[in-house]
C-alpha cells in the first residue's frame, strides 16, 4: 500500500498524559499536512510542512501541540497534557508541491481523552 | 479567510435517481475547489477538483461537479446514484493567494435508498 499511513489508528489516554502520533506520507510528496476532525464537522487545518520546514500553523495549534518532520519524510504530532477537548480524529495528508495538487489523506488517528 | 458552506446535513436519494450535493464558497481571488468522500472508519478520498478551465469537472466513480463563479457554487452531481455512494461528502476550498490550507465544509451525509 503506497498511500498515507498513520499510527496508531486509535489512542485512549487519560487527561494530562502526553500522546504522539505518526504519519508516513506518500514517498514522493514533499508537502505534509495535519488536520483535526471532530464529530459532525469537517477537517480543520492544524499545520503544514514543506520538506522538513514547518511553514504554517493554525491558531488551533496551542502551545501544547508540537509537530515535527525531521528528515522531510515522516511526521509526528505530539499533544502534551491532554485535555478532554483534544478528543478528535487527527488526519494527516500529503501532496506534491503546487496549489493545484490535491491532498491525499491517511485513515486518521482517533484520540479519546478520558 | 476562505470558507465553505454545505447547507444540507443529509441528502436522501433513491437508487438510480440523480444525486446533487450542494456547496458554496467564499474566498479571496480565484478559488481552487475540491470534493472528498469519507466512508466509515476511513480517511478522506479525493473525488475531483476545479482549478481553471471548463466549468464542468469530471471525477472518480461517475461524479462530476459544476463550478459557477457568479453563484460561488461548486455542486457535486451524479446522474444515477448507487447504494454504495452512501457516505459523507466534503467540499473544500483553497485560495489563490498561496494559502496552502484547505478549508472544509461540515459535510453532507448522503443516503442512497435501495
| Section A15-40 average pLDDT | 95
pLDDT category, A17, cuts 50, 70, 90? Answer: very high
Looking at residue B96, its pLDDT comes to 65
Give A47's contacts (C-beta < 8 A, 6+ positions apart): A33, A34, A54, A56, A57, A58, A61, A67
pLDDT tens-digit profile of B38-61? Answer: 998 778 999 999 998 899 999 999
Q: Within 10 A of A75 (CB to CB), how many other CB atoms are there? A: 25
pLDDT of residue A94: 95
- Tens of pLDDT along A63-88? 999 999 998 899 999 999 999 999 99
pLDDT above 80: residue B106 = yes
Alpha helices in chain B (DSSP H): none
Put simply, the answer to whether A43 touches B90 (Cβ < 8 Å) is yes
Task: Indicate the residue of A31, A56, A100 with minimum beta-carbon distance to B51.
Answer: A100
The answer for A 27-86 residues in CB contact with B (under 8 A) is: 31, 33, 35, 40-45, 48, 55-56, 58
Say if CB B28 and CB B11 are below 8 A apart: no
Residue A35 has pLDDT above 80, yes or no: yes
Determine the Cα–Cα distance for residues B65 and B94; give it in Å rounded to an integer: 16
The answer to whether residue B33 scores a pLDDT higher than 70 is yes
Q: Is the pLDDT of residue B110 over 80?
A: yes
* Residue in chain A lying closest to B100 (CA): A99
B43 → closest Cβ in A40, A99, A106 = A106
pLDDT of residue B101: 86
Could you tell me which residue, A97 or B25, shows the higher pLDDT? B25
A88 inside 8 A of chain B by CB: no
Q: How far, in Å, CA of A44 to CA of A57, rounded?
A: 11
**Residues belonging to chain A:** 114
Please tell me which residue of chain B has the smallest CA distance to A107: B43
> What is the rounded distance in angstroms from the CA atom of residue B74 to the CA atom of residue B35?
9
Q: Is A25 on the interface with B (CB under 8 A)?
A: no
Residue B74's pLDDT is: 98
Instruction: Return the residue of A nearest to B38 by Cα.
Output: A107
pLDDT of residue B97: 65
Long-range contacts for A52-56 (Cβ within 8 Å, ≥24 apart)?
A55/B100, A56/B99, A56/B100, A56/B101
**Residue B37 neighbours by CB distance under 10 Å:** 22
Is it the case that residue B13 has pLDDT exceeding 90?
Answer: yes
Contact A42 B32 (CB under 8 A): no
Summarised one tens digit per residue, pLDDT across range A43-65 is: 999 999 999 999 989 888 889 99
Q: Which three cell numbers stand for residue B68?
A: 459557477
Contact in structure between B50 and B30 (CB atoms under 8 Å): no
**Strands annotated E in A25-99:** 31-37, 44-50, 53-57, 65-68, 75-79, 88-95
| Tens-digit pLDDT profile for residues B64-98 | 999 999 999 999 999 999 999 999 999 999 876 65
pLDDT averaged over chain A? 93
Amino acid at each position: 500500500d503506497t498511500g498515507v499511513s498513520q499510527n496508531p489508528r486509535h489512542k485512549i489516554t487519560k487527561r494530562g498524559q502526553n500522546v504522539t502520533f505518526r504519519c508516513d506520507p506518500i514517498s514522493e510528496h514533499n508537502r505534509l499536512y495535519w488536520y483535526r476532525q471532530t464529530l459532525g464537522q469537517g477537517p480543520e487545518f492544524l499545520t503544514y510542512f514543506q520538506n522538513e520546514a514547518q511553514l504554517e500553523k493554525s491558531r488551533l495549534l496551542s502551545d501544547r501541540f508540537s509537530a515535527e518532520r525531521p528528515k522531510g519524510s515522516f511526521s509526528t504530532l505530539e499533544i502534551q497534557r491532554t485535555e478532554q477537548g483534544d478528543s478528535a480524529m487527527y488526519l494527516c495528508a500529503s501532496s506534491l508541491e503546487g496549489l493545484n495538487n490535491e491532498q491525499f489523506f491517511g485513515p486518521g488517528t482517533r484520540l479519546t481523552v478520558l | 479567510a476562505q470558507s465553505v458552506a454545505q447547507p444540507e446535513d443529509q441528502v436522501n436519494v433513491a437508487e438510480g435517481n440523480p444525486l446533487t450535493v450542494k456547496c458554496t464558497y467564499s474566498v479571496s481571488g480565484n478559488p481552487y475547489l475540491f470534493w472528498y468522500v469519507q466512508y466509515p472508519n476511513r480517511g478522506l478520498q479525493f473525488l475531483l477538483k476545479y482549478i481553471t478551465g471548463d466549468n464542468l469537472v469530471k471525477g472518480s466513480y461517475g461524479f462530476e461537479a459544476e463550478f459557477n463563479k457568479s453563484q460561488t457554487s461548486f455542486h457535486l452531481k451524479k446522474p444515477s446514484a448507487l447504494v454504495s455512494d452512501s457516505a459523507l461528502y466534503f467540499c473544500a476550498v483553497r485560495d489563490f493567494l498561496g494559502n496552502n490550507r484547505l478549508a472544509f465544509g461540515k459535510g453532507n451525509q448522503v443516503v442512497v435508498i435501495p
